[in-house]
Amino acid sequence: MVRYIRRAAALCLVLLVALLVNAARVMVFEADSLDDDPANRRIAIERYAKPRGEIVVDGKPVTGSRDSGQQLRWERTYRQGPLYAPLTGYASQTYGTTLVEHAEDGILAGTDPMLAPLPLWDDLTRGRQPGGDVVTTIRASLQEAAFRGLDGKRGAVVAVEPSSGRILALVSSPSYDPGVLSGTGQGVKDAWRRLNTSPNQPMLNRALRQTYPPGSTFKIVTAAAALDEEVVRDVDAPTDTPDPFVLPGTRQVLPNEATGCGDASLASAIQWSCNTVMAGLGVKVGLAGMVDAAERFGFNDTGLRVPSWVAKSNFDREMSPDQLALSSIGQFDTTATPLQMAMVAAAVANNGEIAHPYLVDRTTTSRGTTVNRTGRRSYRQAMSPATAMRLQRLMVRAVEEGTGTNAAIPGARVGGKTGTAQHGFGNTGTPYAWFIAWAQADDAAQPAVAVAVVVEDAEASRTDISGGGSAAPIAKAVMEEALRLEAEARNPRPAPPVPGPSLRLPVRPSGSRSVPPGR
């Protein structure tokens, strides 16, 4: 009898060990695959069991959370959603996350280990911290000025601080309200379908993810290459470029919108945007030199993050001489994001160096303790400081006496370059209007802002499209606001006196020296 009991006990022990081994297999070896299984709703329920952290602009949150009362409890809300959508992106229980909502998801959702008070704290307690906050570099008044300037037209505006790389404004138009995608249900699916089928593509981030032919704004890159390669030594000397100019190896004549471009100097070519001069200089620099120059500005970089990913701006590495001539004036296959062209303007303003652009100033816990702060990083040395100084003078002349006069600001030194980019089959599409610029107050030590504006106005007549007419006024409004904020920061207004009881000072003996309080 005892023998049978021992056998039964041994069998039970074997079964118990088998259960423990299987439990260990599930918890240790299969945990990740089970967590990632779409049928496992526990992860989603836990993810939305607490409010999400906030995205902050100028000290105020532009996001929020709403208790839906559903199984996936907390839904994302957005304040002034269309204004900040190109920055925030969306956080949807149905369609996931994009832009800053995606790039900083760990902080916002409370899953980043850096939010825990001690290492491995969340693993030991099996808990999760409240969502942290993401403090952006965006200035609200600049964002609003850019948004008003586009006024619903298709296009984008990017403004950066040249010395630091801080992105001060990031606008894409037309925009959308990310809040309509936050929850679940048929309404969210209908909104998704409506936004994705709209011919205006409101969910396309034109500032970071759309590339355009940069047109004549690219001539700044070509001018930098010509000066650095010493193809041009004197910016006021004739360039020996004929008008009309026949593209090398072809019979095609390259036209000019401006007059007086025959044998014009580099200074005149920038001031009046002469195609022939800049195309000829690009050919003289040569393919290798132009590719090298463009890539120093950031073209062909597939790894740029701000922290959201940025589309690659393109400058072909293999071209025939006629294609190189067209590429040197921002046509052929040359394309750029508005961010890229803002970086071109910033390079000129910042003595040839491009600071790495970034959108997130710092991340914090829900209580405001800093988790991580973005430091200034150098991105590229686009040109020599001497070349940058010469281009500064040429861009200032273009605003004071050339094609960019609509961007002039009293009391400030403004440098700019217009562009009208052809596109479409046979260049039959309505041109894109471009303007890139930078601005420095007369009493400031360095430029406050660099900006790029592109406008796709499909409703306008081709003859009414120009960078100086369509894009420069928008850039001017943004730069004026940046200069105002910088002036306030340099010369803060004294705080108003705090009302309080009157203070009776002691009477000093005659002849004594009175010393003001606080000295």
Helix-, strand-, coil-residue percentages of the chain, each rounded to 5: 40, 20, 40
Q: Which helix (H) or strand (E) holds 83?
A: helix 81-88
Radius of gyration of the chain (CA): 30
Phi/psi-derived region of residue 162, left when phi > 0, alpha when psi is between -120 and 50, beta in every other case = alpha
Residue with tokens 């010369």: 491
* Cβ–Cβ < 8 Å for 74, 49: yes
Catalytic: 216? yes
| Burial environment of residue 94 by CB neighbours within 10 A (0 to 12, 13 to 18, 19 or more) | middle
In angstroms, the CA 178 to CA 66 distance is 14
Residue with tokens 């906050």: 133
Catalytic residue among 65, 172, 216, 265: 216
Segments of 146-249 assigned E as strands? 154-160, 167-173, 245-246
Angle, helix 219-228 to helix 385-401, in steps of 10 degrees: 140
Written as six digits, the tokens of 187 are: 């309404």
Q: Is 112 helix (H, G, I), strand (E, B) or coil?
A: coil
CB 228: neighbour CB atoms within 10 A?
Answer: 21
Tell me which DSSP letter residue 460 carries: S
Written as six digits, the tokens of 419 are: 């562009």
| Enzyme catalytic residues | 216
